Amino acid sequence: MAHSHGKYADFEGLREQAVALRRAGLSLRQIRDELQVHNNETLQRLVEGEPPPEWTKRPRAKDDLKERARELRRQGWSYNQIQAELGCSKSSVSLWVRDLPHPEPKCTPEEQRARMNAGLARLHASRDSEREATKQAAASAIGKLSDRELFIAGVALYWAEGSKDKPYRRTEVLQFINSDPNVIKLFLRWLKLLDVGPDRLTLRVSIHETADVEAAECFWAEVVGVDVSAFSKATLKKHNPRTVRKNTSDSYRGCLTIYVRQSADLYRRMEGSWYGIVGAVRPGDLSNRT
């Protein structure tokens, strides 16, 4: 019935058969299989003008949603309200009602701004809550540190924040400076693990010359748990008139410098341990990194 090149010799005869099959209630797929016509364009031409049988028509459930969406839009509902009411996508709502006039605003611009600000406040509060929950869960997952874990954490902390020996400047001594009270407390706890007592520490506040030095020293004394008299003379940073300082609030307390006397051996242990950590992280351990 079909030529090798895909052309049909008796198109009109095929069309009569296709129309008869269509009127008998067959689907396009059934007609295709019956007549062995596998060219979709030809198949469409064979049944052109003949409506499909009712049983092949897809249900159009979205028609009801569309009409409901248009009805709600005429009542002044927003896209978001319609989407929430009907449970459909916002893009579908837009497609269905975009020819309808925009509803008149039901509140003043000031009320709209107030609603928007209230919505943003709720959003920010929700995000803050999620953020805090994630942090709390992560903190709880750490649990109690063993001495070994504390030692490794302290080594990594010192290598990131502490003073280090250089080939051109031999300074094998533990000297640590930071502005974060929690970091200072962890460093002091690490020193305690290494049997370094308060009698070997020199404490000094480093702060901008225009700040309240006395208040800063009282603050750090409380963090460390010593009397203010234990501090050496503060190091004052000179103000550069070409720069704009951002650390001018009442919470600015400068940095605390902790110098450990007679700590050359401890420094060498710290540096050796750091390179031990680096060596323990073999290339194979990083195979899942990008």
pLDDT digits (tens, 9 = 90+) for 225-254: 999 999 999 999 887 766 666 666 778 999
Q: What is the pLDDT, as a whole number, of residue 104?
A: 76
Q: Residues in the chain, how many?
A: 290
Whether the pLDDT of residue 282 is over 50: the answer is yes
User: What is the chain's mean pLDDT, rounded?
Assistant: 86
**80, HSE (Cβ side, Cα atoms, 13 Å):** 0
Q: What is the pLDDT, as a whole number, of residue 5?
A: 37
Q: What is the pLDDT, as a whole number, of residue 2?
A: 42
Q: What is the pLDDT, as a whole number, of residue 145?
A: 94
Lookup: tokens for 187: 């460093």
Backbone angles phi, psi at 185, to 5 degrees: -65, -40
213-224 helix and 181-193 helix, angle to the nearest 10 degrees = 40
Which position has the token pair 């129309």? 19
Q: What is the pLDDT, as a whole number, of residue 102?
A: 85
Percent of the chain predicted with pLDDT > 70: 89
Q: What is the pLDDT, as a whole number, of residue 204?
A: 96
Whether the pLDDT of residue 290 is over 60: the answer is no
**Distance between CA atoms of residues 64 and 66, nearest Å:** 5
**Distance between CA atoms of residues 258 and 232, nearest Å:** 10
The 10 Å Cβ neighbour count of residue 266 is 19
260 near 196, Cβ under 8 Å?
A: yes
Q: What is the pLDDT, as a whole number, of residue 134?
A: 93
pLDDT digit string (tens) for 81-113? 888 788 788 888 999 999 998 887 777 778 778
pLDDT digit string (tens) for 9-22? 688 888 899 889 88
Backbone angles phi, psi at 16, to 5 degrees: -60, -40
41 near 47, Cβ under 8 Å?
A: no
Q: Output the pTM of the full model.
A: 0.58
pLDDT digit string (tens) for 162-199? 999 888 888 899 999 999 999 999 999 999 999 999 99
